[in-house]
Chains A and B, each alone.
Chain A
């Protein structure tokens, strides 16, 4: 392995905001809330303020088990916001079973999260838990 690392790795843990991550904040999609009392809506809340990470994910499912709408709200870093935003984009139109196959690493790869942000894609594990809790509620 060459001893000369590319500049970006050497400068870790610099916060290099990939434009995809910034885009999810500047052009937010699916930020908001669905009616949590509706029987078609599942709500999941994971994380803790003390950890600097809280994610709320909601999905609206039709009679056939297909996710027709999704909303998120996140208290967390830029990568966490982008990850949850992307998750809501991806689950729309999928069935609940299909949605559960989305992996943390897929999201991290799509957003080009640098290695230091892997804990954010671990947050994607949280997203999965959140999604699961949403399913359960539903």
Chain B
């Protein structure tokens, strides 16, 4: 017991201390992505023939889909990928103890970001798994009339912020459980599970500059919220989520949360300025552009714009130097336009014309300016190719036309 406690203290003090060099592998593991030239991941036969010089990759403006690893997060993870590879549930040796210490430290970092107790954080494989655990709780409810409210904190398509504190207040007064999927909100806007009366919260690593494949669920202890485990096994994570906790990944998640807590205010200010710049510059140069979502209750880093008379997917094709996403049908597997835009009452033709711009911690002013310039250029061009734009210029009211069905 004493030895374990000593390891715990030692692990806290560990920085990226270089350990003994691992033995050279006898069979080399070929990396898929060569670190020589920045090759794009897009398959070869869709781009032009590879040239001798370095290949440029598109600007990344899709942070709602995923975020790059913050270098500080990678620094925190590396020792646990290389030297400190013990199973955190091994109780009998130093490898296990140091891994466990790192896991508990990460748990504290996650808890601190949302004002929770570390005992209320369970590590999972991501927000999706966390959501499933939270919803399954419905089936574990004791009273037949117990119910659950589940709301996204920040919407991933249009960036709208839901009134979480108010919803929490209502749920608490009606004795109804309140779950929120905070994947897009954690580390970006201040959250406190006690002030907002949140009972369950889903957290995603790769949305906050942490690694993919890891997340967490916050489960309130007072008053106790009971959940049913989705997967059974060795009883790890207080029996709520069996399976060896992946130390390097949770260390990454913890580090990402800590960095986010430190950088939140600065990031928010900087991202707000860049968002303002993007929106103003686009709107002053292009008519008939609509921003989707409530402008007041809005997270600035997620901007969803509809460019009337231009179809979203064609604009994405035109903006090939910028990685973006759209709410239009052509870009979704189901060929249906965004359900979110439909839910907020967007006209269907505008739903087909929407593009989502994601601004994140590493987005630069130049990237924003380049995106704006290209966007203006190509929207103008596509409008020249659009029969709808032509009809509007001729003074025809599009709503008066009887369109053909097919």
Count CB-based A-B contacts (< 8 Å).
Answer: 110
Contact B311 A52 (CB under 8 A): yes
Contact A125 B317 (CB under 8 A): no
Q: Which of A61-115 contact B (CB under 8 A)?
A: 73-81
Contact A15 B390 (CB under 8 A): no
Q: Does B151 touch A at the CB level, under 8 Å?
A: no
Q: Which residue in B310, B314, B317, B404 is a CB contact (below 8 Å) of A48?
A: B404
Contact B352 A78 (CB under 8 A): no
- Contact residues in A for B328 (Cβ distance below 8 Å): 52, 77
Contact B403 A81 (CB under 8 A): no
Q: Which residue in B337, B385, B386 is a CB contact (below 8 Å) of A52?
A: B337
- Minimum CB–CB distance from A97 to chain B (whole Å) comes to 23
Give the residue name and chain of the B residue nearest to A6 (CB). Answer: B43
Q: Does B348 touch A at the CB level, under 8 Å?
A: yes
- Contact residues in A for B224 (Cβ distance below 8 Å): none
Q: Which residue in B43, B335, B404 is a CB contact (below 8 Å) of A16?
A: B43
Q: Which of A11, A16, A50 has the most CB of B within 10 A?
A: A50
- Minimum CB–CB distance from B44 to chain A (whole Å) comes to 10
Q: Does B405 touch A at the CB level, under 8 Å?
A: yes
**Interface size class, chain A:** 35 or more
Contact B317 A73 (CB under 8 A): no
Contact B386 A50 (CB under 8 A): no
Q: Does B321 touch A at the CB level, under 8 Å?
A: no
Q: Does A34 touch B at the CB level, under 8 Å?
A: no
Chain B positions 373 through 406: 1 when the CB is less than 8 Å from some CB of chain A, otherwise 0: 0000000000011111010000000100001111
Contact A18 B309 (CB under 8 A): no
- Minimum CB–CB distance from A121 to chain B (whole Å) comes to 13
- Contact residues in B for A53 (Cβ distance below 8 Å): 311, 406
Give the residue name and chain of the A residue nearest to B404 (CB). Answer: A46
Q: Does B316 touch A at the CB level, under 8 Å?
A: yes
Contact B404 A25 (CB under 8 A): no
- Contact residues in B for A31 (Cβ distance below 8 Å): 384-385
Contact B404 A78 (CB under 8 A): no
Q: Which of A27-63 contact B (CB under 8 A)?
A: 28, 31, 33, 45-56
Contact B387 A56 (CB under 8 A): yes
Give the residue name and chain of the A residue nearest to B332 (CB). Answer: A13
Known: A52-B352, A54-B403. A19 touches B314 (CB 8 A): no
Contact A75 B309 (CB under 8 A): yes
Q: Does B175 touch A at the CB level, under 8 Å?
A: no
Q: Whole-angstrom distance between the alpha carbons of A25 and B398 in the complex?
A: 25
Contact B320 A17 (CB under 8 A): yes
Q: Which residue in B314, B385, B388 is a CB contact (below 8 Å) of A77?
A: B314
Q: Whole-angstrom distance between the alpha carbons of A71 and B316 in the complex?
A: 24
Q: Does B42 touch A at the CB level, under 8 Å?
A: yes
Known: A46-B406, A47-B403, A52-B349. A75 touches B386 (CB 8 A): yes
Q: Which residue in A46, A50, A77 is a CB contact (below 8 Å) of B349?
A: A50
Q: Which of B1-60 contact A (CB under 8 A)?
A: 42-43, 45-48
Contact A77 B43 (CB under 8 A): no
Contact A54 B387 (CB under 8 A): yes
Q: Does B318 touch A at the CB level, under 8 Å?
A: yes
- Minimum CB–CB distance from B198 to chain A (whole Å) comes to 35
Q: Whole-angstrom distance between the alpha carbons of A5 and B330 in the complex?
A: 23
Known: A15-B313, A125-B406. A75 touches B46 (CB 8 A): no
Known: A54-B403, A74-B387, A75-B388. A49 touches B348 (CB 8 A): yes
With A54-B403, A75-B386 given, name 4 new contacts (CB 8 A): A17-B317, A17-B320, A45-B404, A46-B404
B: residues with CB less than 8 A from A are 42-43, 45-48, 309-314, 316-318, 320, 328-333, 335, 337, 347-349, 352, 384-388, 390, 398, 403-406
- 22 inter-chain pairs at a CB distance below 8 angstroms, sorted by A residue, are A16-B43, A16-B46, A17-B46, A22-B320, A46-B406, A49-B352, A50-B347, A50-B348, A51-B348, A52-B311, A52-B328, A52-B348, A53-B406, A54-B403, A56-B390, A73-B387, A74-B385, A74-B387, A75-B310, A75-B386, A76-B330, A79-B330
> Which 6 A-B residue pairs are closest in the complex by CB-CB distance?
A49-B349, A52-B352, A48-B403, A78-B317, A77-B313, A50-B348
